Structure 1
């Protein structure tokens, strides 16, 4: 069971950041569908704990084991602490709309909430208030007793309200015992389990027992989706309205366990196909890499170092997807990944990300194809992209190894998005500089036909990079928001499919020069064409002198 605690991150030396990266690589067990979030000294008023796509007979179990509110007042007429459960039919958007940050969402009736769990610390009870027509959404106290033992996880024992309330203020047994026998939204025959909050006829209320030990509160409940009408993407939030007033925030401690499950396993509805998807895409990238190596072996004379770097990228991508697929398999069966495999996935993902942007930038600069020296501007681009890629991979590892409710989760998610956009923009500059140089050189160095062919090639490559970034960063996100919750795996399909297409087209365009019409010299000009020194703003061929043709007819740079 993963345990993720809030950690503060400050400025440190490179050695400290290296230790942090190693720690993040070893903390992969925090990623899973059995969550345990421990927050200490938390001051946020709203915390998004998790979101999950449920099919029929899917279950959500929540165990609040520690809740310490400190010195906050509990004499309010209305509970100011609790959980909210909402459903989003399509897309992973916010659990509640934009509102006044000083307004408590627990104090208003809202159609955006399906269920509110209002923690009344004064009467030691939890009011379960439902909104709308939820006929087959069953909510009961305690955890589900049946958990497969073959997964290696401890079986949760059902919560006994009488034991939870022992040593605390008196909680009426009539309020807690019959709850598990009455579906949410129904009325008990003895009237003990349902107490209407308002005579609206639609809002129903159950009452659960709240345990109190020393200065800590605890309770547990589970929810079962009983019909197809209740299927959807559910979002669970925790609210502490005592901290919604600026300047009056008081730290609190929270420890909560969340277990989500569908009939097929622990994966969300949108994640169930990902195991097969990543496995198939891994095989596709592996096949592409093997084919590319065979092409290189048949044209050894015309192969450059950049060609082998492209092969290494394809194989690294394949291995990364393979480990990603295996992780999803174990998450589905056990609720969490195998730690060693998760670390291997993070390492290969880090290498893949660095190789991808380095390869794109090198190809865009024309390195090895038309020159062997990088200009000062191009070196600066690499000096920016490589550290940013390391930072982006650190952000990815943090996001994967943290719970959504962790304090630094949102921070690192913003860092990943921002750094990714900067890298995507930075790798376009070498391509633009190459196009500009070829335009200037086409009329000055006596090789108009050759430079026009190369100019056409780099223009095509520029369009390919733009389309790759556009499809994987914009279209894919729009698709994820637009499709129903169970089809959101199409987002990953579009990203991986676009990446594979980009790899294949890049390999075709920049295949070894013997088979590449764009990088060949015209036969009639082979004997008398010479290189001239060209000085441009980008530093293209800077420091190179004029060299005669070799006997083989190949141009030496």
Structure 2
């Protein structure tokens, strides 16, 4: 049995390593083959002043149609800036029309980079003038400097200064919204490298980088355009490789880990002082905050390495994924067990309860696998969107499934309060279960909807507030659950179990007394003397 567990853990580790190797995180490397999507979201990153972004399109090839049929507004890139995820971007302005064919409006901060394959040119069109958008600076191949990470370019200081001056001069002299750069071409493979620096506070913001394939939108029926792309993206803020809204996360996760550890220690102290009223599920509840604390510690370590070197240490990342998976499964199992009344009111699960666990546990495993794949896969890959939809659907199903045991318990208590003569106890338990149901609904509603809305609304540098509110909501839910179901003789959750034991003992006494008295009778004995009544054993 131990060997089987060892093989299972080894298999999980190898599976996580396989998923994790798909991405370099903040140093991105994306490879797409035979893709036909019209829009590919390559990346989103929040920049502070003195941050920079470097892009290396090392190879782009097109199949399915002739290059002669592709005009200069069919294939290309767009880069737009917003203050938060919730504000409409330039791409949302008109979804029915190819963005590369538009003339950029001054209302949006956007740069369009359509590729002209006939003339081997990159035509840059900028919407914002007067320094509102950073200069896009091409990198000459002979002047590139290669970083230790594969296929990722970091421009040298000489490139930054020289190319920036040249680009500024050409734009000032031409006074036009379009600037052209050379598109490298070799053996039907096209390449282009560029970078930009955030030089002013006005240029700070959330930058969205897209690749566009507008061939289908032309209405041409001569074939389907497929593209193969190999692109690397390097993003960095002045002191961190994390996006602006993620920089505080390592410290945040460490602080929240300490809070969960403290609440777990407090719960263990309560269990030790009230050992007479402790049930098995109380110890299962104790394991939850400690597992959550470990998960947050490893998450903080993961983000720390990403912040310092642009990519995580694989071992720490895998340990985080394992603890995250255990925490998620343990959370839903504990909520479902409390909802069924297991170990408090009843010591076995009914067939109906077992079916819930047969549904919730596999769904939780699938949800955590989807989360791991999303975390370790580039945003632009075709699998990313699919697993995002799977995660959203499975998470909703899990949240709905864990409510059923609580609803069943409430219904059972409503029926029992009218039939078994213990109305006061049942009503107290009914009130407790209703409160617990409201707690679960509020927790799910806040962490799945309200917190996400806050993430969308707040400015890009305050994006970490979403994680803070999510962790605080979880901490509050743990605390309230422990408070309501703590081991105590006066807890209404435990009254029915204690009352049943008393009734069982009383029944045993009555049954025993009746059995002993079954042979007792009253008789009259007449003596030779005066008449008197006596009781004797028959």
Identify the TM-score tier after normalising by the shorter chain: 0.7 to 0.9
Change in CA separation of 1:548 and 1:290 when aligned onto 2, cut-off 3 Å: farther
Provide Cα deviations, 1:337-370, integer angstroms capped at 9, x if missing partner: 1100000011111111111111101101111111
1:123 to 102, 115, 119: 119
Residue in 1 that maps onto 2:514: none
Whether the aligned pair in 2 keeps the contact of 1:142 and 1:159 (CA below 8 Å) is no
1:236 has 2:220 as partner: no
Aligned-pair distance for 1:124?
Answer: 1.2
Q: Which moves more between the two structures, 258-267 or 368-377?
A: 368-377
Paired position in structure 1 for 2:475: 500
* Contact 1:25-1:346 within 8 A present in 2 as well: no
Change (3 A) 1:249 1:155: closer
- Of residues 398, 411, 418 in structure 2, which corresponds to 1:436? 411
Q: If the length of structure 1 is used for normalisation, what is the TM-score?
A: 0.81
Q: Partner of 1:254: helix, strand, or coil?
A: strand
Deviations 1:12-61 (A, max 9, x none): xxx99x96984344432525200000111111121000001111111111
Looking at structure 2, the residues matched to 26 and 370 of structure 1 have their Cα atoms a distance apart, in angstroms, of 44
| C-alpha separation in 2, matches of 1:509 and 1:129 | 61
Give 1:110-259 correspondences, 5 Å limit.
Answer: 110-111=104-105, 112=108, 114-135=110-131, 137-142=134-139, 156=153, 158=155, 179-182=163-166, 187=170, 191=173, 194=174, 196=176, 204-244=177-217, 248-259=223-234
1:97 aligns with 2:72: no
Give secondary structure in 1 for the equivalent of 2:342. Answer: coil
2:28 aligned with 1:28, yes or no?
no
Cα distance in structure 1, aligned partners of 2:187 and 2:457? 48
1:51 aligns with 2:44: yes
What's the TM-score, normalizing by structure 2?
0.84
Q: Is the 8 A contact 1:143 1:222 kept in 2?
A: no
Matched, 1:81 2:75: yes
In structure 2, do the counterparts of structure 1 residues 439 and 182 end up closer, same or farther at CA, with 3 Å as the change threshold? same
C-alpha displacement of 1:433: 0.7
2:40 and 2:211 in contact (8 A); partners too: yes
1:66 is matched with which residue: 59, 84, 91?
A: 59
SS of 2:380's partner is coil
- Equivalent residue for 1:334, pick from 309, 314, 329: 309
Q: Give me the whole-angstrom Cα distance separating, in 2, the residues matched to 1:69 and 1:527.
A: 77
Kindly state the Cα deviation for residue 93 of structure 1 after the two structures are TM-superposed.
6.5
**Residues 296 and 20 from structure 1, CA distance in 2 versus in 1: closer, same or farther, beyond 3 angstroms?**
closer
Does the 8 Å contact 2:153/2:234 carry over to 1? no
User: How many angstroms does 1:281 deviate by?
Assistant: 0.5
Distance 1:488 1:155 in 2: 27
**Partner residue, 2:381:** 406
Asked if 1 retains the 8 angstrom alpha-carbon contact of 2:345 and 2:497, the reply is no
CA RMSD of aligned residues (A): 3.4
Does the CA-based 8 Å contact 1:90-1:482 persist in structure 2?
A: yes
Match of 2:392 in 1: 417
Residue of structure 2 in register with 1:107 after alignment: 101
* Aligned partners of 2:432 and 2:492 also within 8 Å: no
Deviation at 1:451, TM superposition (A): 1.5
- My pick for the range that moved more, 77-86 or 327-336, is 77-86
- CA 1:423–1:188 in 2, change beyond 3 Å: closer, same or farther? closer
Aligned residues: 494
| Structure 1: gaps (5+ residues) | 1-14, 163-176, 197-203, 533-545, 550-557
Shift in Å, 1:444: 1.8
Q: Which residue number in structure 2 is paired with residue 453 of structure 1?
A: 428
Unmatched tracts of structure 2, length 5 or more: 1-6, 511-538
Distance 2:355 2:253 in 1: 35
- Structure that is richer in helix per residue: 2
1:257-276: per-residue Cα shift (whole Å, max 9, x none)? Answer: 00111112110011011111
